[in-house]
Amino acid sequence: MSKSLKAIRQEIDNINDSILEMLNKRTELIKEITDLKDQNGSEYFDPERETEMMKKVLSKNSGPLYNELIREVFSAIFSTSLKFMGISRQKKLLVSSSSNACFKSINEMFGLGNNEPVIIAGPCAVETPEYLETIAKHLRDKNIRFIRAGAYKPRSSPYDFQGLKENGLKILQDVSKRYGLFSITEVVDTRDVNLVTQYVDILQIGARNMQNFELLKEVGKTNHPVLLKRGISATIQELMLAAEYIALKGNNKIILCERGIRTYETKTRNTLDISSIPIIKKETHLPIVADISHSLGRKDIVNNIAKAVLAAGADGIMVEVHPIPELALSDSKQQLNLSEFDDMLDFIKR
Ligand code: PEP
Ligand code: MN
């Protein structure tokens, strides 16, 4: 007498249970391989090994399942294992929210009590002591704690203003000290890291250097907070991995910065990826600010965008401010004058 449908289904259920159990047993072994590979930093994907395993499996197939279907099933198993390894590695990142490494909030880094959004403002570049003085005085009067200004400017054209270098650092240090402001400036070369740390409070890694791994390691060796900007065409994952380079050297004072990415859109200089902000907050332990000036390349819409990035969960804003933006030696179109800056502050408070 043939078996009933119910009985066959029961057998199939039992086999499903066994397959599940075997898959998890297999995954326990994959975990061991993941640990071994992590220890010596080798690639998870080993195409030769996969081809060899598939050959073995197919040579043992006595049917009734056809070889091409067996191939499909095992391809899925192999790629699931790879995904499992990838997710495990992601969870092991120091900067990942599932790691127990300890990172500081911006307020903790600077001993600031409140949890108000941080405003980092200042000119694109240090140009003259007088300009910087005017800005610093204004920032202090507005209770802003951070001043930015570039001394080493990464310019698209080698014929454009390249920054005042060490003289610029000296001006920034003098002005920021006198006005009680924390200073931030970009460092573009491993050879300058030591020098720049002597003059400023925060080292900035610019978008063009986000994947300059030697530079990341070098700033990772310092005890200075590092503001790491997202690369012009970098994914969020690549930004996190860049931060991991810094963290691996022992520096736990990392601030990420979303500053827009290159897209086909031409109405703004870059496309501000606002969704990166809550994603970073969810997937990492790191604070993140949004540079609304370099994202937009224009200033007529900064107020709304400033509000939007804060609503998205950013810990702060970076914005370029210049006493006479029309005369600025770089990024003149996007820099706010002092009254436009005040308007922005009023607008985000509203
Ligand atoms: C800057 O902040 O001065 C700068 C050059 O920005 P980015 O690296 O984001 O282009
Ligand atoms: Mn600029």
Check: complex ipTM more than 0.85: yes
Please tell me the distance between residue 146's alpha carbon and the centre of ligand 1 in angstroms: 16
From the CA of 259, give the closest atom in ligand 1. Answer: 9
Task: Kindly report the length of the chain.
Answer: 350
Q: Residues 323-334: pLDDT tens digits?
A: 999 999 999 999
pTM comes to: 0.88
Please tell me the distance between residue 262's alpha carbon and the centre of ligand 2 in angstroms: 16
Looking at every residue in the chain, the average pLDDT score rounds to 96
Q: Assign 3-state DSSP to the chain and report helix, strand, coil percentages, each to 5.
A: 50, 10, 40
Half-sphere exposure of 171 (CA within 13 A, CB side): 23
pLDDT higher than 90, residue 27: yes
Q: Residues 122-152: pLDDT tens digits?
A: 999 999 999 999 999 999 999 999 999 999 9
Please tell me the distance between residue 206's alpha carbon and the centre of ligand 1 in angstroms: 5
How would residue 42 be classed by pLDDT, with cut points 50, 70 and 90? Answer: confident
Protein residues within 5 Å, CB atom, of ion ligand 2 = 124, 331
Distance in angstroms (rounded) separating the CA atoms of residues 150 and 165:
9
14: exposed, middle or buried (C-beta count within 10 Å: 0-12, 13-18, 19+)?
Answer: exposed
- The ligand 1 site (C-beta within 6 Å) comprises 124, 150, 154, 186, 206-208, 229, 259, 291, 294
Distance in angstroms (rounded) separating the CA atoms of residues 35 and 57:
25
Least confident span in 33-47, 279-293, 308-322: 33-47
Question: Tokens 């790691």 correspond to what residue?
Answer: 99
Percentage of the chain modeled with pLDDT above 70: 100
Q: Residues 220-278: pLDDT tens digits?
A: 999 999 999 999 999 999 999 999 999 999 999 999 999 999 999 999 999 999 999 99
Helix (H, G, I), strand (E, B) or coil at 152: coil
Q: Which domains does the chain have, with CATH numbers?
A: 5-84 (1.20.59.10), 106-349 (3.20.20.70)
Bridge partners for 134 per DSSP: none
From the CA of 318, give the closest atom in ligand 1. Answer: 2
Q: Which ligand has the shortest distance to the CA of 269?
A: 1
Please tell me the distance between residue 283's alpha carbon and the centre of ligand 2 in angstroms: 28
Residue 205 φ/ψ, nearest 5 degrees: -105, 120
Distance in angstroms (rounded) separating the CA atoms of residues 336 and 323:
8
Question: Please, are residues 120 and 136 in contact by the beta-carbon 8 Å criterion?
Answer: no
CA nearest ligand 1 atom 4, residue: 206
Distance in angstroms (rounded) separating the CA atoms of residues 237 and 11:
44
Residue 234 φ/ψ, nearest 5 degrees: -95, 145
